[in-house]
Amino acid sequence: MAAHTRPGDEAVLVVWYKDGARRPFYILDVREGEGRQERVDSSVKDRLRSDPRGTRLTLDPAEGSDSGTYRCRVDFHISPTKSSIVTLTIYVIPSRLVVLDAHSRPVQGGVLRSLSEGDSLTLYCVASGGRPPPEVTWWKGRQMLSNRSVTVGEDGTLLASHEEDDDVMLTVGVGVGVRYVRTILTIPTLTRDYAKANITCRASNNNITEPLSTVVFLELHTRPTSVSIKPPREALVEGRQTRVECVATGAYPSAVITWEKTLEGRSTVLKATSLRLGDVTSSWLSLVPEASDHGATLTCRAHNPHIPGHAATTSTVLQITFAPRVTLKRGYSQIQRPVTEGEDVFFECEVASNPPPDTIAWFKDGTKVSHDQRAGVLVSGNNLVLQMVRRTSAGNYTCQATNTLATTTSNTLVLNIKYLPVCLDGPQTVIVAEGEDVRLTCRVDAKPEEDLRFTWYFNNTLDTVEVERHRVQVRTGLSYLDYTPRSSRDYGSLACWATNTVGTQADPCQFTVLEAGPPERVEDCELLNHTGGTLEVRCSPGFDGGLPQWFVGKVYDASSHTLLTTLQEASPKFTVTGLTGGQDYLITITAVNSKGTSQPQQIDAVRLKVAEKRMVEVSAPGVSPLVGVFLGLVGGFVGLLLLAVSLTLVRSYRCQCLMGEDVGVASSPTPTTKTSPTTPEKRTHQDDAPTGPDVLISASSKYK
């Protein structure tokens, strides 16, 4: 604006120029004769107002293009012309801000989705318009993240750039060609600090107005920061239901929790109940432990489903309290083969229990097995060793484990022991008559007893021969031979040898075949009662000669040797009644079978006792003592004489009786007989049975 200097002098012409233009954009002419004339350039005519003197111009509204250097020239009536220059700066706020992603696509709704922790982020903020070109920056709260901006003209020409941490803005020809300013934000790795964060792009070209800004919300998916399994309040007990809890925190959105149980390399997914609250997820697993779960690994896995391949896990080893689980096994080298007598046998008792067993006990056929080194029984905890087993070691074996919960018995292992055949019966003596047959049974104890082979040998004083095999019958565990002696040469001994897969028995079963004969006489005779007219005699029988025997008893008057009675019994025990007390008797007892009689057993001069009698006392006249002495002497002499005569007669008659008396063997009937344990079964041959020895000799050999 220009003012005159002289009083009364007034401006007659006011002219405004812009940016050195030769043509003014405003003229006010008030010179005389022309009137007031005002001319305004059409570009500003609608926005320009002036005061009456033309020295004050108002642009409303001001535009960015109005910025520039203005010169005002004023002509006066008298005073010289004056000029004044003023510079007008108008700040044009950017018209808009646009946020673009790394692919130059606009971020819709101000929310940037599908971001995951660890990803990289690139954003562009583009400010359109604005004069001077604005400074575009990225902020997170009060922290500036980036001011790496470039200014681009309409034709894409780089007009200015500003690198982060630079102190100087490089400007090239900033003017009408300015179109937009673009600033890049690069975050190599997004951390969880950016979860749910707002980042702001600001554009500002003055300190008068508030910066133009736009906010971008980062929806960042984060992984769980922690996951933990809370131990149950009580110990895990087999069969008792319990609940285990797992808690995961730090994930956005809340983590998904899964449970796995891993045992011996095999994993099983378990079902559970979960609750999500904010960034915390809780999961409860209902568990009924089993003994097989002891030592299994229980894993809780928390993951954000929006971040594949990343999860937080924690594990715990299950400690299950359970009663012993017991398995009995044989030693590895003996599992597939049978045991032979004389070998060592190993047993192993496998025990799984928690807590560990307090005791382990061993049993055979229900009887406890104790350590006995002398007997070859070695017990050591889980192991049982039987050294040089015998056939008696065979049986049913079990082991038993006890802990604080219970006592458990294992499975049963049957120990079968293979051994050589051995005779079940001792040496046998068989008495048989010529022409009679007898069955000889050779019974053996053997393992295995299937497919037993038997060999029989006959031996007499002349030779040893093998019995022809077609005459030998074999059954399970035994062999029998039907034998018939035809002559004296067929009496002797027979030996039976059995062979199984282990070998041939060490000692054969022995049979001695003897010819039947008369019985032997009885022995150890004694009187059991000989009073009151009754006489009882009992003796011990002798050998029966191999045939059924019976017994004949005869009672004689000792003085006259008269046969009073004959008795016959199946055993040597006789009772005689009707005898006279005070009399002497002679008794003979003879054994009888079909082959003859034994020598008689004699009991001499048995006097039967007289029963006592009570007499009435009678008074007698007195007798002189001399008469009594005389009668006594005469009586004694007569008694001695009679005794001598009697003894002479008894001896004479006894010899005649024994030498000439018939005991009646042939005529006596045969009582019911009982077969002795050593007496074999007898069979009667047919009349056309061949004669000669029963054993046919094919070749002479020594039996083994």
Half-sphere exposure for 287 (CA within 13 Å, toward CB): 29
| Secondary structure (3-state) at 513 | strand
Residue 676, pLDDT > 70, answer no
- Write out the two tokens for 619: 């008074």
Q: What pLDDT does 30 receive?
A: 83
Q: Given pLDDT bands bounded at 50, 70 and 90, which one contains residue 632? A: low
Q: What is the DSSP letter of 252?
A: B
> Hey, which of 193-197, 202-206, 396-400, 449-453 has the most confident mean pLDDT?
396-400
The larger pLDDT score, comparing residue 67 to residue 281, is at 281
- Write out the two tokens for 1: 């604006």
> How far apart, in whole angstroms, are the C-alpha atoms of residue 164 and residue 478?
112
Measured between alpha carbons, how far is residue 670 from residues 9, 43, 553, 601 in Å?
A: 199, 173, 14, 20
Residue range 682-700: average pLDDT? 38
Count of CB atoms situated within 10 Å of the CB of 647: 10
What digits encode the pLDDT tens for the residues 396-410? 999 999 999 899 999
β partners of residue 116? 221
Find out whether 99 and 138 touch, Cβ atoms under 8 Å: no
Count of CB atoms situated within 10 Å of the CB of 595: 16
> How far apart, in whole angstroms, are the C-alpha atoms of residue 496 and residue 498?
7
Count of CB atoms situated within 10 Å of the CB of 246: 25
> How far apart, in whole angstroms, are the C-alpha atoms of residue 629 and residue 625?
7
- Least Cα distance to 458 among 440, 444, 476 occurs for 440
**Which value, to the nearest 10 degrees, does the dihedral of the CA atoms of residues 220, 226, 229, 231 take?**
-140
> How far apart, in whole angstroms, are the C-alpha atoms of residue 535 and residue 103?
142
The larger pLDDT score, comparing residue 4 to residue 460, is at 460
DSSP secondary structure letters along 137-190: EEEETTEEEE-EEEEEETTS-EEEEE-TT-SS-EE---STTEEEEEEEEEESS-
What digits encode the pLDDT tens for the residues 639-656? 555 655 454 443 444 433
User: Strand pairing of 236-237 and 320-330?
Assistant: parallel
Q: Given pLDDT bands bounded at 50, 70 and 90, which one contains residue 158? A: low
User: Strand pairing of 563-569 and 596-597?
Assistant: unpaired
Q: What is the DSSP letter of 3?
A: -
> How far apart, in whole angstroms, are the C-alpha atoms of residue 344 and residue 9?
147
The larger pLDDT score, comparing residue 178 to residue 441, is at 441
Find out whether 147 and 160 touch, Cβ atoms under 8 Å: no
Non-local (6+) Cβ contacts of 12 within 8 A are 29, 30, 31, 32, 75, 76, 77
Rounded mean pLDDT of the chain? 81
Residue range 569-584: average pLDDT? 87
Residue range 522-542: average pLDDT? 86
Residue range 536-543: average pLDDT? 92
Residue 413, pLDDT > 60, answer yes
Q: What pLDDT does 578 receive?
A: 84
Q: What pLDDT does 201 receive?
A: 94
Q: What is the DSSP letter of 309?
A: T
Omega within 30 of 0 (cis) for the link into 211: no
Find out whether 454 and 686 touch, Cβ atoms under 8 Å: no
Q: What pLDDT does 656 receive?
A: 38
- Least Cα distance to 410 among 340, 372, 353 occurs for 353
**Which value, to the nearest 10 degrees, does the dihedral of the CA atoms of residues 500, 501, 504, 508 take?**
-20
β partners of residue 591? 551
Residue type, 526: E
Q: What pLDDT does 581 receive?
A: 77
- Write out the two tokens for 366: 């229900």
- Write out the two tokens for 129: 């318009």
> Hey, which of 56-60, 308-312, 538-542, 670-674 has the most confident mean pLDDT?
538-542
Non-local (6+) Cβ contacts of 180 within 8 A are 126, 127, 128, 129, 151, 152
Non-local (6+) Cβ contacts of 434 within 8 A are 485, 486, 487, 488, 490, 515
Non-local (6+) Cβ contacts of 564 within 8 A are 555, 556, 557, 585
Half-sphere exposure for 352 (CA within 13 Å, toward CB): 11
Q: What percent of the chain has pLDDT over 90?
A: 44
Q: What pLDDT does 610 receive?
A: 61
Euclidean distance between the first and the last CA atom of the chain, given in angstroms as a whole number? 159
> How far apart, in whole angstroms, are the C-alpha atoms of residue 331 and residue 314?
41
Non-local (6+) Cβ contacts of 151 within 8 A are 133, 158, 159, 160, 161, 171, 174, 178, 180, 181
Find out whether 449 and 500 touch, Cβ atoms under 8 Å: yes
Q: What pLDDT does 642 receive?
A: 63
Q: What pLDDT does 605 receive?
A: 59
Residue with tokens 């003017």: 175
Largest CA distance in the chain: 242
**Which value, to the nearest 10 degrees, does the dihedral of the CA atoms of residues 446, 451, 452, 457 take?**
180
pTM attached to this predicted model:
0.49
- The strand ranges marked E within 172-255 are 178-187, 197-204, 212-221, 226-230, 236-237, 242-249
H helices within 219-357, ranges in order? none
Find out whether 390 and 341 touch, Cβ atoms under 8 Å: yes
**Which value, to the nearest 10 degrees, does the dihedral of the CA atoms of residues 465, 471, 475, 480 take?**
-60
The values of phi and psi at residue 455, to 5°, are -130, 130
For the purposes of burial, counting CB atoms within 10 Å of the CB of 348, is it exposed (0-12), middle (13-18) or buried (19 or more)?
middle
Residue 634, pLDDT > 80, answer no
Count of CB atoms situated within 10 Å of the CB of 43: 13
β partners of residue 28? 14, 38
What digits encode the pLDDT tens for the residues 12-36? 889 999 988 889 988 888 876 566 7
Q: What pLDDT does 78 receive?
A: 84
